[in-house]
């Protein structure tokens, strides 16, 4: 155990040093709010801040009109590469106070608060220095900070969901319901709750989501959701089909196929076996009670394998998951696989630059290893082994 903690601590120190040097180097030549390359620091946070400003100005509907939205962005930042508002409008219920702050101050608060929420959620499982250091130095953190994204808050909600889904089901359901702002990352969760008989969690999540939908309509207008579906959904479909600028940031079979030049129709067929693997892994894991931590790991990993739409900055939560799993996987090849997944949010950008579709197969391999571990070291379920023996 001492060697395990020492290795984990050493990796955390090295990764933390690289993270510090990256942030310091990136900001060294920046002319805020722009970086040395002329992009806005925090990049995607422009959307969050503009959403907050739109709430305070009373014209939320302007977020959904692509051309008008970009004209409004230009008022604050000049002409930027086109941006689009993609989040379900429920997010506006939580980010509007950021609109009171200047952009850089809001970005700093957003980043620090998110990182603190992530660490606080992780500390609900353990407060050991080795564990928290590994959590705090996950390479995905650098990507999340660079993009100004909400991966910290996503990770915090998912971690707290897993922390309480047995002990305090109503609270766990609340955390899951709050994931309504990124529903594509929790597609498999309702099925999991049904399979495992966690009906209180299911009901709490459904009520939370329903209340958020109604509250959003009451605050921003009864047609906010219909306008979102009418105006934003086609734009998001276009983003999915083109993937312009995002192809190397998505660890999915669909986006790998698009990166290699295949059509959206072919890419959907490429995604299909990944999605089927995720669904099969979930069904096998939760048809009866198994190891709690490994079951959480299967659900979380399958949730990223099943969807064609997930980003590297969404993988902050794997910093926590791998820190939790680390003591159970001591074999050399397991450690190598863990490091590949831990660094994947960064290395997939390198792989993508060389048109190497590596990220999705690695995620699938990690899911298979979790299943094997769950099944006592056998990849084929025992029931199938007995059937074959006959």
Please state the pTM of the whole predicted model: 0.94
Domain parsing of the chain, residue ranges: 2-380
pLDDT at 183: 96
Model pLDDT for residues 68-121, shown as the tens digit of each residue: 999 999 999 999 988 999 999 999 999 999 999 999 999 999 999 999 999 999
3-state secondary structure of 222: coil
| Two structure tokens written together for 156 | 């915090």
pLDDT band at 296 (very low <50, low <70, confident <90, very high): very high
- State CA 223 to chain mean position distance: 28
DSSP annotation of 85 reads: -
Q: Range with the lowest mean pLDDT among 5-14, 60-69, 128-137, 260-269?
A: 5-14
Q: Which residues have a Cβ under 8 Å from the Cβ of 363 and sit 6 or more positions away? A: 251, 301, 304, 305, 341, 344
Asked whether residue 386 carries a pLDDT value surpassing 50, the answer given is no
Please identify which residue in the block is written with the tokens 């809001």.
Answer: 106
pLDDT at 11: 87
Q: How far apart, in whole angstroms, are the C-alpha atoms of residue 370 and residue 374?
A: 6
| Two structure tokens written together for 231 | 């105006």
Model pLDDT for residues 355-381, shown as the tens digit of each residue: 999 999 999 999 999 999 998 866 655
Model pLDDT for residues 269-294, shown as the tens digit of each residue: 999 999 999 999 999 999 998 999 99
Asked whether residue 390 carries a pLDDT value surpassing 50, the answer given is no
């Amino acid at each position: 155990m001492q060697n395990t903690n020492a290795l984990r601590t050493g990796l955390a120190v090295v990764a933390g040093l690289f993270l510090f040097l990256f942030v310091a180097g990136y900001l060294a030549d920046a002319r805020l709010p722009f970086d040395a390359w002329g992009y806005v620091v925090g990049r995607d946070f422009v959307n969050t801040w503009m959403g907050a400003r739109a709430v305070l100005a009373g014209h939320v509907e302007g977020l959904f009109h692509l051309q008008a939205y970009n004209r409004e962005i230009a008022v604050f930042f000049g002409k930027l590469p086109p941006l689009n508002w993609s989040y379900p409008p429920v997010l506006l219920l939580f980010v509007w106070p950021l609109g009171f702050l200047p952009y850089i101050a809001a970005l700093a608060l957003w980043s620090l608060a998110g990182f603190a929420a992530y660490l606080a959620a992780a500390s609900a499982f353990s407060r050991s220095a080795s564990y928290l250091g590994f959590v705090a130095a996950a390479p995905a953190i650098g990507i999340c900070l660079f993009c100004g994204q909400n991966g910290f808050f996503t990770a915090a909600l998912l971690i707290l969901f897993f922390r309480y889904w047995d002990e305090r089901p109503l609270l766990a359901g609340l955390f899951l319901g709050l994931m309504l702002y990124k529903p594509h990352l929790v597609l498999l969760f309702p099925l999991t709750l049904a399979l495992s008989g966690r009906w209180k969690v299911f009901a709490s999540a459904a009520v939370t989501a329903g209340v958020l939908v109604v509250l959003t309509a009451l605050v921003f207008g009864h047609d906010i959701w219909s306008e979102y579906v009418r105006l934003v959904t086609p734009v998001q479909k276009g983003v999915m089909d083109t993937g312009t600028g995002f192809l190397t940031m998505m660890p999915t079979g669909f986006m790998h196929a698009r990166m290699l030049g295949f059509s959206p129709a072919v890419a959907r067929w490429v995604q299909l076996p990944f999605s089927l693997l995720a669904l099969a892994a979930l069904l096998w894991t939760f048809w009866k009670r198994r190891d709690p931590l490994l079951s959480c790991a299967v659900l979380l990993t399958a949730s990223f394998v099943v969807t064609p739409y997930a980003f590297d900055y969404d993988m902050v939560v794997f910093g926590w998951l791998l820190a939790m799993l680390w003591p159970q996987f001591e074999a050399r090849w397991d450690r190598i696989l863990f490091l590949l997944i831990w660094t994947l949010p960064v290395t997939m950008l390198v792989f993508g630059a060389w048109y190497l579709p590596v990220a999705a197969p690695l995620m699938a391999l990690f899911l298979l290893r979790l299943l094997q571990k769950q099944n006592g070291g056998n990849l084929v379920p025992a029931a199938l082994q007995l059937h074959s023996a006959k």
